[in-house]
Amino acid sequence: MAKVAKIPIIDISADSEQDQRQVAKELVEAAVEHGFIYIKNTGKDIPVEAVEAAFELSKKLFNAPLAEKQACAYQSNNRGWSAMHYETLDPKNQRVGDFKEAFNFGEFINGKAQQPIPASIAEHESQISAFRDLCYNMCLKLNTLLGIGLDVNPPDFFTQAHKTERGASGTILRLLYYPPLPQTSATAHDVRAGAHSDYGSLTLLFRLRGQAGLEIRTPDASWAPVPVSPPGTEADPAPPILVNIGDLLSYWTNGLLRSTVHRVVFPGPGGGLVDGETDTEPRYSMAFFCHPVGTTPLAVVPSERVRKFRAANEAAAAQDGERKVMTADEHLQMRLRASYKQMYSDKE
Ligand SMILES: O=C(O)CCC(=O)C(=O)O
Ligand SMILES: [Fe+2]
């Protein structure tokens, strides 16, 4: 069996203030060291049934007639449906685009999508909105814990920056469908999602037991599979929610919190297949990419630990004088342009 990624499993359901501080410290250490954290799914923050129902909806969406999906094609606002091979997450190393379909939901207003959605799932609009809200609230909680763990003053510094009442953000709920490779395929080197790091502050990733594919880049520059349900979580009602730090939060904390490169592959029998997982079946996953409100300036984080890290990192410190403060929106635009060249090239 492949050598799997060592990612800490953390239970954030603690209620008492003292337990919360401890959890916050653990979360920060995991974010600094690995950039990935398994959050035990106790069903308290996001009910297990809500996750299951969202996966059912996702299957319905990708099974919808092609014309319905095409009518909601991906737009430069980062919303909508992207077809097989449309997105290329690792353009330097991929000959063809990712072997996947995806559907991005941007922000909803009063339970209503602000984008076309396929007719087959239109009656479930409020369910999608409610699931998005659950993810958003969990991200607020994680942001608060990170603030506490980093001794940011005030501790809700990151949380406030994400409050939707302050304005629009680039936050996206993304449903993903990775079909199996055709049996006679000559495309054995197809990558389901090329190597990349995520763009926003935090990502929540939901996966289904038995469905292989996700790998992270380890500090020694090899690839390690990330089991859906690591040891100790097999009996939980649902696999843990995988959380990772995105580029924006890493940038904001001067690289203290790590944004780890990852990819989705067909590991194959000789590769990194984890026991009990397969890559010959269709694979579904759901990612919630959380972003601060677009106008948030990514200025200095009021935390002694972040400040000290910057001081220790001389190269970053040397750039301080020149570093123009970017907003969250500017940061996102910079990243999107690299992944969707075909969409932006005619506009430059
Ligand atoms: O499907 C997965 O497991 C991960 C997808 C991913 O990394 C992404 O969409 O950014
Ligand atoms: Fe990702």
pLDDT tens, residue by residue, 106-144: 999 999 999 999 999 999 999 999 999 999 999 999 999
Token pair listed for 296: 């948030």
Amino acid 147: pLDDT: 98
Q: Which of 46-60, 259-273, 319-333 has the lowest mean pLDDT?
A: 319-333
Domains of the chain: 9-347 (2.60.120.330)
CA torsion, ordered 158, 23, 45, 172, to nearest 10 deg: 40
pTM: 0.94
* Model confidence at 187: pLDDT above 60: no
- Measure the CA–CA gap between 38 and 28, rounded to whole angstroms: 13
- Measure the CA–CA gap between 348 and 86, rounded to whole angstroms: 20
DSSP code at position 179: P
- Measure the CA–CA gap between 213 and 21, rounded to whole angstroms: 34
The answer to whether the CB of 214 is under 6 A from ligand 1 is: yes
Amino acid 343: pLDDT: 65
Burial class (CB in 10 A: 0-12, 13-18, 19+), 324: exposed
CA-closest residue to ligand 1 atom 3:
214
Say if strands 223-225 and 214-217 run parallel, antiparallel, or are unpaired. Answer: antiparallel
CA of 22 to the centre of ligand 1 (A): 29
pLDDT tens digits, 286-340: 999 999 999 999 999 999 999 988 766 766 666 655 567 899 999 999 888 876 6
The answer to whether the CB of 226 is under 6 A from ligand 1 is: no
Amino acid 184: pLDDT: 60
The answer to whether the CB of 287 is under 6 A from ligand 1 is: yes
Burial class (CB in 10 A: 0-12, 13-18, 19+), 215: buried
The complex scores an ipTM of 0.99
The SS3 assignment for 270 reads coil
The answer to whether the CB of 82 is under 6 A from ligand 1 is: no
Amino acid 89: pLDDT: 81
The fraction of the chain above a pLDDT of 70, given in percent, is: 91
Burial class (CB in 10 A: 0-12, 13-18, 19+), 270: exposed
pLDDT bucket at 186, cuts 50 / 70 / 90: low
The edge-to-edge listing of strands for the beta sheet with 223-225 is 193-196, 262-264, 214-217, 223-225
For the CA atoms of the chain, what is the radius of gyration?
A: 20
pLDDT tens digits, 26-35: 999 999 999 9
The answer to whether the CB of 285 is under 6 A from ligand 1 is: yes
DSSP code at position 239: P
Residue 192 alpha carbon, nearest atom of ligand 1: 1
Q: Which residue has the higher pLDDT, 178 or 92?
A: 178
CA of 4 to the centre of ligand 2 (A): 18
Average pLDDT estimate for 198-227: 95
Q: Please tell me whether the peptide bond between 154 and the residue prior to it is cis, using omega within 30 degrees of 0.
A: yes
The answer to whether the CB of 212 is under 6 A from ligand 1 is: no
CA of 263 to the centre of ligand 2 (A): 7
The angle subtended at Cα 6 by Cα 159 and Cα 236, nearest 5°, is: 70
CA-closest residue to ligand 1 atom 1:
285
Residue 203 alpha carbon, nearest atom of ligand 1: 10
User: 64-73, 78-87, 309-318: which has the highest mean pLDDT?
Assistant: 64-73
* Model confidence at 62: pLDDT above 70: yes
